[in-house]
């Protein structure tokens, strides 16, 4: 792995983790699903227009079209939708830590439903990582964290894991930017319909809301997505996924710096345990992929 790939991976982790604190600002001023639907609509249209300008086609193969629908539904509508709703009641740092357990859930789902073998190191990482998440959730629940919000975050992490398992099929055959744009538009439509039936469109306009929305639109929305797929294309999905172990640290640090969220000693311990578990799972997957290649 060269220096450029490392820089790309760390930058992606930083961008991805920053989404939670800025989302917390947005949901304090606007209906969460309506705001997210608008973000996806704008990001998706930008991506599709640029993709067409670059000569990419929106005529997708059958597997690509199915994967775009699954990815748009699971990652955008369910994962981010559930997290945006949850962050009306739970802190951004807790939402980031639960979402960061995604690599652990992916490994667990791959073993349970796809017959993917998990090496001993990976099993140890799964147990360790889940224990770290449980420690943090237990600490926050005892401190008064909203149980419903935590359940929504867990559901979002599971949805993101399902979306992650579809990435390979979604990107096979080219048209990367077009696929990114179309899956965002899928999320925009689904969330827009749900918002129309469940939310009252009341917005408290402020400079903080506008800045947070613009940041979400450009950085986690477009830049991080494209950077992730570029990183996967450069070093492969297994190596790229290793950078997810940085997400708990970045998520907690950004929430503390930007929102002033308090971080206790058990939170720090839990973050370290989760990071160790994620890293163990990713290293075991990398070793398994290397053995399979040889």
The pLDDT profile of the chain, 294 residues, written as one tens digit per residue, is 678 888 998 999 999 899 999 999 999 999 999 999 999 999 999 989 998 998 888 787 777 788 788 888 988 899 999 999 999 999 999 898 898 888 888 888 888 877 777 788 888 888 898 898 888 888 888 888 888 999 999 999 999 888 777 665 555 556 778 888 898 999 999 999 999 999 998 999 999 999 999 999 989 888 887 888 778 777 766 677 778 788 888 988 999 999 998 888 888 898 899 889 888 887 886 666 555 544
Q: Are 91 and 24 in contact (CB under 8 A)?
A: yes
Closest CA to 159 of 247, 64, 68, 77: 77
Residue 168, pLDDT score: 55
Residue 240, pLDDT score: 75
Alpha helices, H only, the chain: 3-27, 32-53, 62-71, 81-86, 92-99, 102-113, 120-142, 147-164, 167-171, 176-198, 207-216, 224-235, 237-241, 247-259, 265-293
Closest CA to 186 of 33, 99, 79, 74: 74
Residue 80, pLDDT score: 92
Residue 286, pLDDT score: 66
Residue 173, pLDDT score: 57
Closest CA to 79 of 96, 91, 65, 104: 96
Q: What is the distance between the alpha carbons of residues 237 and 137, in angstroms, rounded to a whole number?
A: 29
């Amino acid at each position: 792995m060269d220096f450029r790939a490392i820089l790309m991976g760390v930058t992606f982790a930083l961008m991805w983790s920053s989404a939670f604190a800025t989302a917390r600002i947005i949901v304090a001023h606007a209906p969460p699903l309506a705001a997210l639907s608008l973000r996806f609509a704008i990001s998706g249209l930008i991506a599709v227009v640029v993709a067409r300008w670059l000569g990419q086609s929106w005529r997708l193969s059958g597997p690509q079209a199915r994967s775009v629908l699954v990815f748009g539904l699971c990652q955008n509508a369910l994962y981010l939708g559930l997290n945006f709703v949850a962050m009306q009641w739970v802190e951004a740092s807790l939402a980031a830590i639960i979402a960061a357990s995604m690599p652990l859930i992916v490994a667990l789902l791959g073993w349970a439903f796809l017959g993917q073998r998990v090496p001993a190191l990976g099993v140890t990482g799964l147990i360790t990582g889940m224990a770290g998440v449980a420690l943090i959730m237990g600490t926050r629940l005892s401190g008064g964290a909203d149980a419903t919000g935590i359940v929504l975050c867990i559901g979002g992490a599971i949805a993101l894991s399902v979306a992650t398992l579809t990435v390979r099929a979604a990107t096979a055959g080219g048209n990367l930017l077009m696929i990114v744009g179309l899956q965002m538009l899928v999320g925009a439509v689904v969330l827009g319909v749900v918002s129309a039936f469940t939310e009252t469109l009341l917005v408290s306009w402020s400079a903080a809301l506008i800045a947070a929305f613009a940041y979400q639109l450009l950085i986690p929305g477009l830049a991080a997505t494209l950077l992730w797929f570029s990183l996967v294309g450069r070093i492969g999905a297994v190596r790229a996924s290793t950078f997810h172990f940085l997400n708990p640290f970045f998520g907690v640090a950004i929430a503390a710096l930007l929102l002033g969220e308090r971080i206790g000693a058990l939170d720090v311990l839990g973050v370290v345990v989760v990071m160790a578990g994620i890293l163990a799972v990713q290293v075991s997957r990398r070793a398994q992929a290397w053995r399979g290649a040889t």
